[in-house]
Amino acid sequence: MIAPEKRAWVESHFAWAVANFGQDSLSAAPLITPTRTFFKSNRAAAAETAQRVFSEVKSLLSLDSVDVSLIPQGILPEQAARDYNSLTQVSGSFIADSKTPIITYDPRLLDHPIVFISTMAHELMHLKLADVVEDMPGGRATHELATDLHCVIHGFGIFQLDAADRMGWAGYLSQDTRAFALAVFLQLTNRPVDAALPFLSAHVGKKLRKMAAALSATPMGFSA
C-alpha cells in the first residue's frame, strides 16, 4: 500500500471529481483500453495520424467543442529526454498563453502509440482542469501530479501505467500511486482487476493486484 498521506490525497481527488464533474463522471466512466473500441484511426502520414488520435482522446475527455491546436515540437536528443526523467515534460506541453490553447508533441511518439495517447491525455487534462486548478485538493502546487491522477480518474489509467512502464520514465506520479489510483477507479466503477490486466505487463499487473487487495482490506470512506 502507498503511504497514508498519498492514499488520502488520491481519494480526496476522486471525491472532488465526483463533486465537481458529477456522479456519472466516475460511475459511468469507461476503462479506456488500447483497442479499436476506443481508437479507430488507421495509420496515415505522421501529422494526420497525430491529429486523428488527438481528436479521439479529446472526444473521450468530452472536449470535442473546445478549440485547441496540436503542433509537433522540435525533437530532443535521446539523452536529454532521459535526463529530464519526466515523460510528459519531454513528450508534450500545454501552452495557454494565446487565444487558442496549444498542445505540442514529440513526433517520435507516434512510434509508441501507448505513450503518445497517454501524453495527449495528460496535456488535454491540463485544458480540462485549467479553470479549477486552484480549487483542487493541493491546489496549484500539486497540479502536475493531479493532472496525471485525473487521467486515471477519467479512464486513462491503463495508459498511465503502461506508458511509464514502456519508456522507463517516472513521470509525475510514482508507479505505485498510479497503480493504487487505478485500483480505486476499478473499485468505484465496479470493475474487476482482470479488466485491466491483459493490457499491462506482468510486473505492473502484479503491482495493480497488490494495490487492489490492500484497498479491499481497508475500504475507502466514500463511494461513487
108 within domain boundaries: yes
182 within domain boundaries: yes
Alpha-carbon distance 165 to 109, whole Å?
Answer: 15
Q: Starting at the earlier edge strand, list the strands of the sheet with 102-105.
A: 69-72, 102-105, 92-95
167 within domain boundaries: yes
222 within domain boundaries: no
Alpha-carbon distance 98 to 107, whole Å?
Answer: 22
pTM: 0.88
121 within domain boundaries: yes
136 within domain boundaries: yes
223 within domain boundaries: no
Tens of pLDDT along the chain (224 residues) come to 899 999 999 999 999 999 988 888 888 899 999 999 999 987 777 888 999 999 999 999 999 999 999 988 775 445 444 443 444 445 777 777 668 888 999 898 999 999 999 999 999 999 999 889 889 998 888 888 999 999 999 999 999 999 988 877 656 789 999 999 999 999 999 999 999 999 999 999 999 999 999 999 987 766 66
Nearest to residue 149, comparing CAs of 184, 116, 115, 117?
A: 184
Distances from the Cα of 210 to the Cα of 2, 169, 180, angstroms: 11, 21, 9
Residues paired with 71 in a beta bridge: 104
224 within domain boundaries: no
Could you tell me the residue range of the domain that residue 122 belongs to? Answer: 4-217
Q: Say what the pLDDT of residue 81 is.
A: 46
Nearest to residue 120, comparing CAs of 103, 98, 101, 96?
A: 103
Our count of domains for the chain comes to 1
